[in-house]
Chain A
Amino acid sequence: MKPVVTRALLSLAAAALAALAADAPAPDPVLAAMRDEVARAHTLTVSNLDAPYFIQYVIDQGDGFSVTASLGGLLARRRNQVRQPEIRVRVGDYKFDNSNFAGGAGGTRYDLGRWPLDDSYPVLRRYLWLATDSAYKGAVETISRKRAALRNLTESNPADDFSRAQPLQYVHELSRLSIDEDAWAERIRALSAIFAEYPGVMDSRVELEAVAGGYYVVNSEGTAVRAAESATTLRARAVSQAADGMVLHDTVTFHALDPAHLPGDAATGAAFREMAHNIEMLAKAPKGEDYSGPVLFEGTASPQIFAELLARNLALPRKPEGGRGGFNGSDLEGRLGARVLPETFEAVDDPSQREWRGRPLFGAYDVDREGIRAMPLTVVEKGVLKGYLLTRQPVHGFSASNGRARLPGSFGADTAGIGNLFISSSETMPAGGLKKKLIELVQARSLPYGILVRKMDYPSTASIDELRRTFATAEAAAHPVSSPVLVYKVFPDGREELVRGLRFRGLSVRSLKDIVVAGDDSIVFDYLDNGVPLALVGAGSYTTESCVVAPSIIIDDLELHPVEEELPKLPVAPPPEMAR
């Protein structure tokens, strides 16, 4: 995005740069303010307390447009601008600093509220000044608490607190939101009216959200990054209710980097109709029963489970010192060199790849939020775990980042995530034959039918009520895993029967070792990850563009069970007549 720069500000920024080293020409007041204040903040000290050894500013900013409609009427239409800073001040040294500690202090509150949106050098410097002051005071207090706390503990993690990295200069244009708002409002209105034709759909929404902008990273090691980022989401959600009261929901989501790349109305309309039809069918479908046996994941269901089970666990969150309970580590921790997929499988995370078979890849990026370039990374080779997604937070055996810091994390660290994760197998069979293969497996075990899953609820669009019902048991709540949406019984004669109300039991990254066969297809699945369980849509304050490309698969021996939940009653009054 070309920043909005008035003439006065340009001259101001020019003056700023003239005063600085001549080798840093960046006519961007935001970048200039960040650099100048990082340089000044390096001199912060309180009497004899620790001075900062590392300061980093990240500013996420973007222009957004969103519109929501139901049954042909708009519910909301918004245009908004955001600028979200994240200030990191580290005191101590790389070996031992104020991060990775659970009992930290917050620092002085200055009531800064929202950050200025205009690209004004002096105002941004002022905000950075106050925010840095607050972060620094928090840092010196935190490190003293950490020292005190560790006196009573044997340190559980001998790794350093922060890794070193080469400074990077990467200054690209931000992306700019270009969208015909009125035309999109009309399209969303029309798309939402489709659901009026389906009386079995109890409630529905169609929403569009487009954001464009990017992020800045400036640190005291000399890194200066300005990178573009954009994402558009078109989503339809629908809810129906079965005769016994069970509430069913489904969602269709299209993502693109730019709204212009979304499919046309014919394609989206067809997908929404199919979803409306499916959800009507689901309401009429019989309830599923306990099942233990092979499951075929087809369509987006396969990349969805790789995204949830594999991609998530490739990040290694570090348990903070002094933390008590409530910590969710990775299921793949300590399994480097162990087999996690069948021997024929390979998994590569490649954010540097921009396109795949003529289609822009949603998870592509050059530089992460810590100013580290992301190169292709083989995480699984011949079924064996070869690496993790790493940030600048050192974890067991790894002391350098590989550029996967994609979301802000807690205790001074960032959260790692994938860019474009490619799953492939050297041995495949024609995807069209997978169903036959499933039937063979089922017959070999004398099961009456097999299970086919075409869609998972990941990222989840479940309502709070539904989540409460689904994760009512302690076991389910401890290891939340998303629910299948479209589940079919496949009978030996090839007949498919849609069933509802089934959940997986014990589905985890370990289940992926039991993949029996992969198809020769590749399904691309784009999604926005936000780091929270189930990647629950609407939760979390940041999202990151992610993509998984994977073939259809059959996993041997998975368990499904019917949900046992208290079911709401059906509406007393019949629905109103819909005018066409």
Chain B
Amino acid sequence: MSQELARNFQSLKEKGDPPPYFLSYEITQEDIFSLSATLGSIDSTGGGKSRTLDVSVRVGTPKLDNYHRVRGAGGGAAQFTTGAQISYEDNANSVKHSLWLETDRAYRAAAERLIRIQTNTQVKVAEQDASADFSSAPPEVSLAAPVKLKFDREEWTSRIRKLSARFQSYPSVLTSRVNVTGQAETRYFVNTEGTRLVYGRGYARIFISASAKAADGTDVASFDSFEAESADDLPDDKTVQAAIDRVAKDVTGLLHAPEAEPFVGPAILSGRAAGVFFHEIFGHRVEGHRQKNEDEGQTFTKSVGAKVLPDFLSVIFDPTRHTAAGEDLYGWYDFDDEGVKARPTTAVENGVLKTFLMSRSPIAGFGQSNGHGRRQPGYEVVSRQSNLIVESSKAVSDEKLRAMLIEEIKRQNKPYGLYFREITNGFTTTSRAGLQAFSVVPVIVYRVYADGRPDELVRGADIVGTPLASFAKILATGDKPEVFNGYCGAESGSIPVSAVSPAILVSEIEIEKKAKSNDRPPLLPEPTVLESGGGKPR
């Protein structure tokens, strides 16, 4: 890699017009095994070894280069890498040849785009943020051993078969699936500034999903997952079975639950739900590149030094933390995808915004990367989240938090409040063209009554709201942080992230009805062979 980097860089500098001033290669080596089963039968096995190459060529100057955003029609962000698949074996001929071809392709695309940018900056008004396109970063050298995948296929095949068969005892669940994935990822990174890195980590995950259809056509679904660094550290069957039972019971419960009504009132978000809430509503808005892009809403761009959250809350992004609350985190790494060393970054301290998440693309007032330039192979790097950690100085016990909710329900004279236990992937619009709103999709929501009636599961609710208003309404938090691990999708692809937060109490949250299907449930009954256990077809 280093040889081919030097050779191509030299050759392009001599013969290329315009010559490049920076070149980097990132090779992501993955060894994955994934297995899923439904009702005791394997339905997919997959994976294997692969290596993906991302080449980054910069022509022009750090002040104005080919990565500069083009404004207006046909504009947008740059895309030079194609994430070429290259040999996963250490065969010098094959790897060198791919590096050469991809460097040439990326260089040509870069040179062509620079010309467009030079015109664009002249025909458009001056940009509000006149910061440069590329910042300096100290060279890093760190050569760890490649990560090896530890995954016992046979053992997992029989375990996943057995685990997925547990759904056979829940006849109302129409479809269900249990998936396990083990992954070893090693990244090789070199650039023309002298950075040379080999680093990596493992990922392992069990994902449980189930769905059903209510008599009125509403599709209901629930999920649960376990994450660890290695498949060996995933929980034992007993724990997973308990989660399967919970998911199955949630789905069954949702089938018979009343439909949620549009509602505005107080609510508690569990730690996991609050984590997703912060990730979507706050995290995406402190990603540095959004402050510079004039198509973005720039909710917080001018808020540095100002209060953006209640003063008892701090938010830290810490890619160096491997665990929290006894669980492995998904969002840690040693170096980001620009070869910048990972470091903790306090975004909000006691409610006051301190900084943004930075890649090597500078923004006004923030000239350096803080190691948050990330991507999925095949995408261009932008600033992204790592491990989002919410810390609170106004933490109370769960009982106290619930008591506060009930007080709040009474104070507002509402019939009930809400408890959000699980939230999945939400989405948030940060672009100016859209409403500056967010919507997260709660899976498990209960009504909490002030008069002592038991909590009641409801279905079909979406949380809606606008970010600035939501943050002001956080009243207190619980004292037990919970972990949400998952994958976050944005401009630079899908990347592993974590959110760690205690439960939060909000004085006001708004829910709306979810769009629903009008299809009838199955006309014929289930073939019944699964439940009767006797295996006698009718």
A19 close to chain B: CB less than 8 A = yes
Inter-chain contact A71/B49, CB cutoff 8 Å: no
Contact of A125 among B8, B174, B537 (CB under 8 A): B537
Q: Which of A553-569 contact B (CB under 8 A)?
A: 568-569
From B211, B219, B524, B535, A41 is in contact (CB under 8 Å) with: B524
Whether a CB of chain B sits under 8 angstroms from the CB of A326 is no
Is B495 at the interface (CB under 8 A from chain A)?
Answer: no
User: Does A370 have its Cβ within 8 Å of any Cβ on chain B?
Assistant: no
For the complex, is B98 an interface residue (Cβ under 8 Å from A)?
A: yes
Complex CA distance for A569 and B45, rounded to whole angstroms:
42
**Chain B residues, CB < 8 A from A116:** 37-39, 41-43
Which residues of A from 105 to 133 have beta carbons under 8 Å from B? 107-118, 120-123, 125-126, 129-130, 133
Cross-interface CB contact of A196 among B36, B43, B93, cutoff 8 Å: B93
| Residue contact A75 to B87, C-beta cutoff 8 Å | yes
**Residue in B38, B86, B213, B526 whose beta carbon sits within 8 Å of that of A75 in the complex:** B86
Q: Which of A254-262, A327-335, A570-578 contacts B (4 or more CB under 8 A)?
A: A570-578
How close is A287's CB to chain B, nearest CB, in angstroms?
23
Interfacial residues of chain B within 76-106, with CB under 8 A of chain A in the complex: 85-101, 103-104
* Residue A46 is within 8 A (CB to CB) of chain B in the complex: yes
List, in ascending order, chain A residues with CB within 8 A of B435's CB.
none
CB-CB contacts below 8 Å: A14-59 with B: 15-16, 19, 32, 36-37, 40-41, 43-46
Q: Contacts A40-B527, A43-B524, A576-B97 known; A118 to B537 CB distance under 8 Å?
A: no
For the complex, what is the distance from the CA of A44 to the CA of B523, rounded to whole Å? Answer: 7
Residue pair B48, A576 in contact (C-beta under 8 Å): no
Which chain B residue has the least Cβ–Cβ distance from A18?
A: B536
A202 at the interface (CB under 8 A from B): yes
Mask for A59-87, Cβ within 8 A of B = 1, else 0? 00000000001111111111011000000
In the complex, what distance in Å separates the CA atom of A137 from the CA atom of B538? 23
A203 adjacent to chain B (CB < 8 Å): yes
Instruction: Indicate whether A36 sits within 8 Å of B537 (C-beta atoms), given known contacts A76-B48, A125-B529.
Output: yes
- A515: Cβ under 8 A from any B Cβ: no
In the complex, which residues 42-78 of chain B have their Cβ closer than 8 Å to any Cβ of chain A?
42-46, 48-50
Chain A stretch 169-194: residues in CB contact (< 8 A) with chain B: 189, 192-193
Q: Which of A41, A44, A70, A80 has the most CB of B within 10 A?
A: A70
Tell me the chain B residues, 5-62 only, with Cβ under 8 Å from chain A: 7-8, 11-12, 15-16, 36-46, 48-50
Find chain B residues with CB under 8 A from A76 CB: 48-50, 85, 88
Residues on A with C-beta less than 8 A from B324 are none
User: B38 contacts A130, CB within 8 Å?
Assistant: no
Name which residue of chain A comes closest to B44, CB basis.
A114
Give the contacting residue for B38; candidates A123, A189, A196, A569; CB below 8 A: A123
Contact of A136 among B46, B92, B523 (CB under 8 A): B523
Check B527–A122 contact: CB distance below 8 A: yes
Provide the bound-state CA to CA distance between A107 and B86, in Å.
Answer: 42
Q: Which residues of B contact A32 (CB under 8 A)?
A: 537
Contact A129 B42, beta carbon cutoff 8 Å: no
**Interfacial chain A residues near B520, Cβ < 8 Å:** 46, 108, 137
Does B530 have its Cβ within 8 Å of any Cβ on chain A? yes
- B36, B211, B524: the one contacting A114 at CB < 8 Å is B36
- For A45, give the chain B residue with the smallest CB separation: B523
Shortest beta-carbon distance from A136 to chain B in Å: 7
B521 nearest in chain A by CB position: A108
Given known contacts A114-B44, A126-B530, A16 and B537 CB-to-CB distance under 8 angstroms: yes
A-B contact count (CB 8 A): 187
Complex contact B87–A113 (CB within 8 A): no
- A19, A44, A114, A572: which has the most chain B beta carbons within 10 Å? A572
Q: Which residues in B have their C-beta under 8 angstroms from that of A41?
A: 524
Q: Chain A residues with Cβ under 8 A from B103's Cβ?
A: 573
Report which residue of B85, B97, B519 has the largest number of chain A beta carbons within 10 angstroms of its beta carbon. Answer: B97
A5 at the interface (CB under 8 A from B): no
Once the chains bind, are B98 and A70 in contact (CB under 8 Å)?
yes
Provide the bound-state CA to CA distance between A77 and B47, in Å: 9
CA distance A111 to B173 in the complex (A): 12
CA distance A125 to B530 in the complex (A): 10
Complex-state Cα separation, A96 to B516, whole angstroms: 33
Minimum CB–CB distance from A478 to chain B (whole Å) comes to 28
Count how many chain B residues have C-beta atoms less than 8 Å from C-beta atoms of the other chain.
64
CA distance A571 to B105 in the complex (A): 8
Verify B39–A578 contact, CB threshold 8 A: no
Q: Is the CB of B529 within 8 A of A575?
A: no
Pairwise interchain contact A121-B535, C-beta atoms closer than 8 A? yes
In the complex formed, the residue of A with least CB distance to B533 is A122
Given A117-B42, A202-B101, A573-B8, is A122 in contact with B530 using a C-beta cutoff of 8 Å?
yes
CA distance A129 to B520 in the complex (A): 14
Q: Is the CB–CB distance between B93 and A72 below 8 Å?
A: yes
For B91, what are the chain A residues with a Cβ–Cβ distance below 8 Å? 71-73
Which of the residues A75, A125, A571, A578 comes within 8 Å of B93, measured between beta carbons? A578
- In the complex, the answer to whether B104 meets A573 with C-beta atoms within 8 Å is yes
Does B108 make an interface contact (CB < 8 A)?
yes
Query: A70 touching B94 by the CB < 8 A rule?
Result: yes
Contact B45 A80 (CB under 8 A): yes
Let me know if B48 and A77 touch, CB within 8 A.
yes
CB pair A74–B43 under 8 Å, yes or no, is no
A196 to B97, CA, bound (A): 10
User: Of B7, B41, B96, which is within 8 A of A118 by CB?
Assistant: B41
- B175 close to chain A: CB less than 8 A: yes
Complex Cα distance, B519 from A136, in Å, reads 12
Query: Cβ of B44 and Cβ of A117 under 8 Å apart?
Result: yes
CB contacts (< 8 Å) of B522 on chain A: these are 108, 129-130, 133
The answer to whether B177 has its CB under 8 Å from any CB of chain A is yes
Check B85–A75 contact: CB distance below 8 A.
yes
A125 to B536, CA, bound (A): 12
Flag whether B245 is at the interface (Cβ < 8 A): no
Question: Which residue of A is nearest B4, CB measured?
Answer: A576
Decide if A78 touches B48 in the complex (CB within 8 Å). Answer: yes
Q: Given the complex, which residues of B lie within 8 Å of A11, measured CB to CB?
A: 535
**Most B Cβ at <10 Å: residue of A109, A118, A122, A575:** A122
- Closest CB of chain A to B115's CB: distance in Å? 14
Nearest-Cβ distance from residue A442 to partner chain B, whole angstroms = 41
Asked whether any CB of chain A lies closer than 8 Å to the CB of B107, the reply is: yes
Residues of A within 8 A of B11 (CB): 572-574
Name, among A37, A75, A569, the residue most crowded by chain B CB atoms within 10 Å (CB to CB).
Answer: A75
Kindly state the separation between the CA atoms of A572 and B12 in the bound complex, as whole angstroms: 7
Q: Which residue of B lies closest to A118 (CB)?
A: B41
Do A123 and B40 touch across chains, with their CB atoms under 8 A apart?
yes
B89 contacts A19, CB within 8 Å? no
Q: Determine the distance from Cα of A16 to Cα of B530 in the docked complex, in whole angstroms.
A: 13
Q: List 20 A-B contacts (CB under 8 A).
A: A16-B535, A37-B527, A46-B523, A70-B98, A71-B93, A71-B97, A75-B87, A75-B88, A78-B46, A108-B517, A109-B517, A113-B38, A116-B43, A126-B529, A130-B522, A572-B16, A573-B100, A576-B7, A576-B99, A576-B100
Beyond the given A75-B88, A77-B48, could you list 7 further A-B residue pairs with CB under 8 A, ordered by the A residue number? A19-B537, A73-B88, A115-B43, A122-B535, A133-B523, A572-B108, A576-B99
Across the A-B interface, give the 3 residue pairs with the lowest CB-CB distance, nearest first. A73-B87, A73-B94, A73-B91
The chain A residues found within 8 Å of chain B, CB to CB, are 11-12, 15-16, 19, 32, 36-37, 40-41, 43-46, 69-78, 80-81, 107-118, 120-123, 125-126, 129-130, 133, 136-137, 189, 192-193, 196, 202-203, 568-569, 571-576, 578-579
